[in-house]
């Protein structure tokens, strides 16, 4: 009776059921195929790594030849330098805070900034007292 009202009922009755009907042999075969696929992926990754390492070694040999030809020393970056640069995260960190400028506008800006900080500190002190 309800089949008449649902136009998809004829189609859905012919769809095979999903799950539960797989043979154990198919599951074993699928697991084996997955294992082979994973091995192939690992092999391809290893080949890629070897290729890139070989290319990088060739580039480094080229660079070394250029350095020798032009008597350029290889730059060695230490970890300490990298850490110092990343501490502030501010691109203006190389400028000293107490540096006095000859520019009158910069001096005035520093004075205004100092007054603002002074007012903020005073307000914080008042809040602590209360």
CA distance 97 to 47: 53
Contacts (Cβ under 8 Å, ≥6 apart) of 87: 93
| Tens of pLDDT, residue by residue, the chain (130 residues) | 555 666 666 666 666 666 555 567 788 999 999 999 999 999 999 999 999 999 999 999 999 999 999 999 888 876 655 555 555 455 555 555 555 567 788 888 888 999 999 888 888 887 766 5
Instruction: Give the model's pLDDT for residue 55.
Output: 97
Is the pTM for the entire model greater than 0.75?
no
Instruction: Give the model's pLDDT for residue 65.
Output: 95
What does each C-alpha distance from 123 to 52, 69, 113 come to in angstroms? 61, 65, 15
Instruction: Give the model's pLDDT for residue 33.
Output: 95
Rounded to 5°, angle at Cα 117 from 112 and 118: 95
Contacts (Cβ under 8 Å, ≥6 apart) of 85: 93
């Amino acid at each position: 009776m309800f089949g008449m009202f649902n136009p998809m009922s004829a189609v859905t009755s012919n769809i095979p059921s999903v799950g539960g009907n797989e043979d154990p042999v198919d599951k074993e075969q699928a697991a084996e195929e997955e294992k082979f696929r994973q091995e192939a992926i690992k092999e391809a990754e290893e080949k890629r790594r070897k290729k890139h390492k070989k290319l990088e070694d060739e580039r480094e040999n080229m660079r070394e030849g250029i350095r020798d030809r032009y008597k350029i020393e290889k730059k060695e970056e230490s970890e300490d330098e990298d850490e110092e640069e990343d501490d502030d995260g501010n691109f203006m960190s190389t400028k000293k805070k107490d540096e006095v400028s000859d520019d009158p506008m910069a001096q005035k800006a520093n004075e205004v900034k100092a007054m603002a900080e002074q007012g903020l500190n005073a307000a914080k002190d008042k809040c602590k007292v209360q």
